[in-house]
Amino acid sequence: MKPSVLILCTGNSCRSHMAEGILRAAAGELIEVHSAGSKPAGYVHPKAIQVLQEIGIDISAHTSKHMNAFLEQSITTVITVCGNADQACPMYPGQVNRHHWGFDDPAHATGTEDEILAQFRRVRDEIRLVFGAYATGLREGKSLP
């Protein structure tokens, strides 16, 4: 059984889903990747789906889930991607590691359609950089799942 990584955010609509998709694409053969929220929005933001499709990652089948849905599962690592989730995060059975890597919430972006999409792309690229490095560390055995 592969170690499980749970990525948490408040709404589980943007950042956590982008991180889940990116990490699964980068290291899915090594780990199980999930995402959830402390106050799930009930949907995955269409622009998050769009900007991940631009880099060849399909998260269109993802659903917004509550973090308590994972309390009965063995979670090796919890990664929070927003401050509110970090503060609300419970301990999970088997949890060994906890990381907090905060990112701006692109769902709060304002402006024209192009300006809003630019914010989603910027956050996607930041998440891709951080979670790509994490996946490289896993692959090289330099970090624990």
Residue 27 has pLDDT above 90, yes or no: yes
Length of the chain in terms of residues written = 145
Query: Of all helices (H) and strands (E), which one includes residue 83?
Result: helix 83-88
Dist. CA 89–CA 118, nearest whole Å: 30
Query: pTM of the entire structure?
Result: 0.92
Q: Cα 109 to chain center, whole Å?
A: 19
- Percentage of the chain exceeding pLDDT 90: 74
Pick the CATH number of 4-139 from 3.20.20.140, 3.40.50.300, 3.40.50.2300, 2.60.40.420: 3.40.50.2300
Tell me the two tokens of residue 142. Answer: 């330099």
Q: What is the mean pLDDT of residues 20-48?
A: 96
Active site (catalytic) residues: 9, 82, 89
Q: What is the reported pLDDT for 141?
A: 84
Q: What is the pLDDT of residues 114-132, one digit of tens each?
A: 999 999 999 999 999 999 9
* 3-state per-residue secondary structure call for 3-65: CEEEEEECCCCCHHHHHHHHHHHHHCCCCEEEEEECCCCCCCCHHHHHHHHCCCCCCCCCCCC
